[in-house]
Copies of this chain bind each other. A is one copy, B any other.
Amino acid sequence: MVLGKRVPRVDGLEKVTGQSQYADDIVLPNMLRGQVLRSPHPHARILKIDTSRAENLPGVLAVASARDLPLVRYGSSIQDETAFAVDRVRYVGEAVAAVAALDLDTAKEALRLIQVEYEGLPEVFDAREALKPGSPLVHEAVHTYKHLPGFTPVEGTNICYHYKLRRGDLEAGFAESDLVLEDTYHVPMAHHGYIEPQTSVCWFDQQGRATVWSSSAKPYGLRKDLAAVFQLPMSKVRVMTCRVGGSFGGKNDARLEHLGLALARKAGRPVKLSMTRAESFTSATVRHPATIRIKTGVKLDGTLHAREMEITWNTGAYCAAGGSLCKNSGHAAPGPYQIPHVKVDSLLVYTNNPVAGGMRGFGSPQLSWAVESQMDEIAERLGIDPVDLRLKNAVEEGSLSYDGQVLHSVGLQETIREVAAQTEGRRGRLAPGSGTGFACSHKSVLSGTSSAAFVKINEDGTCVVMSSTVEVGQGSDTVKAQIAAEELGLRVEDIVVVAPDTDITPYDFGTVASRGTFHMGNAVRLAAADARQKLFLLAADRLEANAADLEAVGGMVRVKGSPDRGLSIPVLAAESVRRLGPILGQASYIHSLEVLDPETGKPVEASSFYIYGAQAAEVRVDVETGGIKVNRVVASYDVGRVINPATCEGQVEGQVIMGLGATLYEELLLDGGRVLNPSFKDYKMPTMPDTPEIRSVLVEEPHVEGPFGAKGVGEAVTVTTPATIANAVYQATGVRMKSLPITPEKLFWAMKENDRSG
């Protein structure tokens, strides 16, 4: 029984001893080093690229640009992007050309020798500006781009995608409300701040087969994009992931490997291509800046009655993950409440900013910050305890989601009560300058994505699990090992988890969207059960029992209720090799919810599950400086079932700290589309001195389809933190901040303003 145990991480020792292999540790014979020439302009026509001087530099083996690739646009929902800029650049940092040379210095020198002639084009950076008629168009030919059904860009505008959610009768809802509040919140551009910048080693062999070692968190997605760009069948593209030094959604997109492969093919040698730290800020992906107008109608007793949201996402120069972010966060936008009348309009807008992509929470942190800040205002205005207001409106088992999905595994109210209990007597204003804030939230998860796994029993009964979830630091290898061990009655140390390799480990949609434990966990569990069934059939014969009466526990297959009637798994495994053949297991898992709108009968968005949770934060504000110290955070989340308390708590703590950074510190500053602070020196992230005491309370409300009931907790916590802290700041200062981050300077002036007006 290893389920729910605090099993040490299977990748722990290798990581703390520095032996983990990251993509940058890969060294191949004759490997070249690559560098990318990136656009200095936010919007410009490329008149000419002259690479001749670079090509003639001794030590340069290849210079690649758009002319070396067929004109293929790729993208997950809208195919609007090319590997290298074609004819025009749309953001500062876009790849224009790349060089492969014997060493990095030569490659850098060669970049300087590439001459590009640009002709400036009108620029637009603010999403609201970009929506105005007459704004410069970032993409003039959006109507020619291929896209997934429904993701239709609006021709002649910068609207990349418009998501709509409608429920009830909004106008009537507001009319029936006793109190209507309307606010606008703003979230800036931010960055994931993973430790390891994007890295790849790319290689085209003599048989025309592309092999890539990558820091990707979505190897199958990367293979698909590379196959498209190089017009190869998938069998000719191999993507291997190494250990990954953090992703948080920042390593889901192919933003480097095309360039590396283009160089490798041209040079006929392997090429290592890594982003610098600055490139990871400007040319990987950033978090979507958002402006959220939220209008809520509420009854005097606190019953939420109507909510309208108008969200503007700035996706930058390309759509990337923006389409699904806009949609997936949109259908859960109004928060984890039962609200009869709802209207959401979520607009994804092209600008000449760096490309925005997925980042932990996938839009929900931005939305939840607006929703939960306003919830706090509503509580204040109605004189209702913020906890009670949320409990009154919270969804529960059997509630309908906004899009008509019957909700299951809903532990929200329990998490709210847990947090309330943990802050009993500490809420509200504790002392002058101190305050406790409160918030809750939900996070939806993609439905209809699949995962698969192979399980192989060795001849001595130990076991190998093959799957394509990437261990990005979240602890997935440990969880997979625990699930397989539990199912097979083995110890975690009997299980080997193989690193993702698209040639070998079966398909997985990607290590995204908090889906790993639920989706891959199920695939691994089912594959292990498939193997176990073969052990049972062999044992049933030997034990003269029915296979259905057997169990696998403690390294034995035994008759349930007769612990002395058993056979050891090592013995059975060896015997199977001799008598029946080696024991293999496999499983594919997909969780497709076909939810129909009860009124229209049309399929609507659905979430495989929702993760619910609540947080409270205690802050102390230095009223002289505006400085904020978060002293304590209580975070309670409904994870379905805890596979490993230590990894769950690690997720909770990491997310609270990440959320704290987003709330108080983090903002990518831009000037004319140029990132001004692309370094950890200038982009301030929280470090240990900023870290509060964090108390995690895990609530288990098993999901009927989760592996052993588990859901997942990779993103939900960081969704709640900004409003929690902002609400605490309000409690401490009486100041309602509506723009993140809440820097001392902003808070100081807001307090001044408040004093003046108050």
A interface list, Cβ under 8 A from B? 13-14, 17, 19, 25, 27, 29, 205-207, 220, 224, 227, 233-235, 448, 450-452, 454, 456, 458-460, 462-464, 466, 493-496, 498, 503-504, 506-507, 523, 576-590, 592
- Write out the residue numbers on chain B whose beta carbons fall within 8 Å of the beta carbon of A19: 205-206
Pair A586/B207 contact, Cβ less than 8 Å: no
- The contact of A234 among B234, B462, B498, by CB within 8 Å, is B462
Question: What's the nearest-Cβ distance from chain B to residue A642, in Å?
Answer: 25
Question: What's the nearest-Cβ distance from chain B to residue A26, in Å?
Answer: 10
Question: What's the nearest-Cβ distance from chain B to residue A578, in Å?
Answer: 7
- Write out the residue numbers on chain B whose beta carbons fall within 8 Å of the beta carbon of A581: 450-452, 523, 587-590
Which of A206, A451, A576, A582 is the most central at the interface, judged by chain B CB atoms within 10 Å of its CB?
A: A582
- Write out the residue numbers on chain B whose beta carbons fall within 8 Å of the beta carbon of A450: 577-578, 580-582
Pair A507/B452 contact, Cβ less than 8 Å: no
Question: What's the nearest-Cβ distance from chain B to residue A576, in Å?
Answer: 8
Pair B235/A458 contact, Cβ less than 8 Å: yes
- Write out the residue numbers on chain B whose beta carbons fall within 8 Å of the beta carbon of A498: 503-504
Pair A590/B586 contact, Cβ less than 8 Å: no
A588, B27: Cα distance in complex, Å: 36
Pair B496/A503 contact, Cβ less than 8 Å: yes
- Write out the residue numbers on chain B whose beta carbons fall within 8 Å of the beta carbon of A456: 504, 506-507
Which of A506, A579, A592 is the most central at the interface, judged by chain B CB atoms within 10 Å of its CB?
A: A506
Instruction: Add 18 more A-B contacts to A466-B504, A496-B503, A586-B586 (CB < 8 A).
Output: A13-B207, A14-B206, A25-B29, A227-B460, A235-B494, A235-B496, A450-B580, A450-B581, A456-B506, A456-B507, A458-B507, A459-B507, A576-B588, A580-B590, A581-B587, A581-B589, A582-B588, A584-B586
| Chain A to chain B: the 5 pairs with minimum beta-carbon distance, closest first | A581-B588, A235-B462, A507-B582, A234-B458, A452-B582
Pair B205/A235 contact, Cβ less than 8 Å: no
Pair B233/A454 contact, Cβ less than 8 Å: no
* Complex: chain B residue closest to A453, CB-CB: B584
Pair B584/A590 contact, Cβ less than 8 Å: no
- Write out the residue numbers on chain B whose beta carbons fall within 8 Å of the beta carbon of A495: 235
Question: What's the nearest-Cβ distance from chain B to residue A516, in Å?
Answer: 16
A495, B748: Cα distance in complex, Å: 65
Question: What's the nearest-Cβ distance from chain B to residue A161, in Å?
Answer: 21
A332, B380: Cα distance in complex, Å: 94
- Write out the residue numbers on chain B whose beta carbons fall within 8 Å of the beta carbon of A494: 233, 235
A-B contact pairs, 18 of them (CB 8 A): A14-B205, A17-B206, A224-B459, A233-B460, A234-B458, A234-B459, A234-B460, A235-B458, A235-B493, A452-B581, A452-B582, A456-B507, A496-B503, A506-B582, A507-B577, A581-B587, A582-B588, A585-B586
- Write out the residue numbers on chain B whose beta carbons fall within 8 Å of the beta carbon of A462: 233-235
Question: What's the nearest-Cβ distance from chain B to residue A568, in Å?
Answer: 13
A350, B450: Cα distance in complex, Å: 59
A661, B184: Cα distance in complex, Å: 88
- Write out the residue numbers on chain B whose beta carbons fall within 8 Å of the beta carbon of A452: 581-582, 584
Pair A584/B207 contact, Cβ less than 8 Å: no
* Complex: chain B residue closest to A28, CB-CB: B27
A463, B587: Cα distance in complex, Å: 17
Pair A235/B584 contact, Cβ less than 8 Å: no
* Complex: chain B residue closest to A238, CB-CB: B496
A496, B209: Cα distance in complex, Å: 10
Question: What's the nearest-Cβ distance from chain B to residue A697, in Å?
Answer: 33
**A452-B582, A503-B498 as given contacts; A13 in contact with B464, CB under 8 Å:** no
A584, B452: Cα distance in complex, Å: 8
- Write out the residue numbers on chain B whose beta carbons fall within 8 Å of the beta carbon of A585: 586
- The contact of A578 among B205, B448, B523, by CB within 8 Å, is B448
Question: What's the nearest-Cβ distance from chain B to residue A244, in Å?
Answer: 18
* Complex: chain B residue closest to A534, CB-CB: B588
A462, B238: Cα distance in complex, Å: 13
- Write out the residue numbers on chain B whose beta carbons fall within 8 Å of the beta carbon of A588: 576, 580-584
* Complex: chain B residue closest to A235, CB-CB: B462
- Write out the residue numbers on chain B whose beta carbons fall within 8 Å of the beta carbon of A206: 13-14, 17, 19
A227, B462: Cα distance in complex, Å: 12
Pair A579/B584 contact, Cβ less than 8 Å: no
A29, B22: Cα distance in complex, Å: 13
A744, B460: Cα distance in complex, Å: 54
Question: What's the nearest-Cβ distance from chain B to residue A499, in Å?
Answer: 9
- Write out the residue numbers on chain B whose beta carbons fall within 8 Å of the beta carbon of A589: 581
Which of A206, A507, A577, A587 is the most central at the interface, judged by chain B CB atoms within 10 Å of its CB?
A: A507
Pair B586/A579 contact, Cβ less than 8 Å: no
Question: What's the nearest-Cβ distance from chain B to residue A186, in Å?
Answer: 37
* Complex: chain B residue closest to A578, CB-CB: B448
- Write out the residue numbers on chain B whose beta carbons fall within 8 Å of the beta carbon of A25: 29
A579, B593: Cα distance in complex, Å: 10
A592, B583: Cα distance in complex, Å: 16
A224, B582: Cα distance in complex, Å: 14
Question: What's the nearest-Cβ distance from chain B to residue A213, in Å?
Answer: 14
A565, B5: Cα distance in complex, Å: 54
* Complex: chain B residue closest to A590, CB-CB: B581
A227, B574: Cα distance in complex, Å: 14
A586, B588: Cα distance in complex, Å: 12
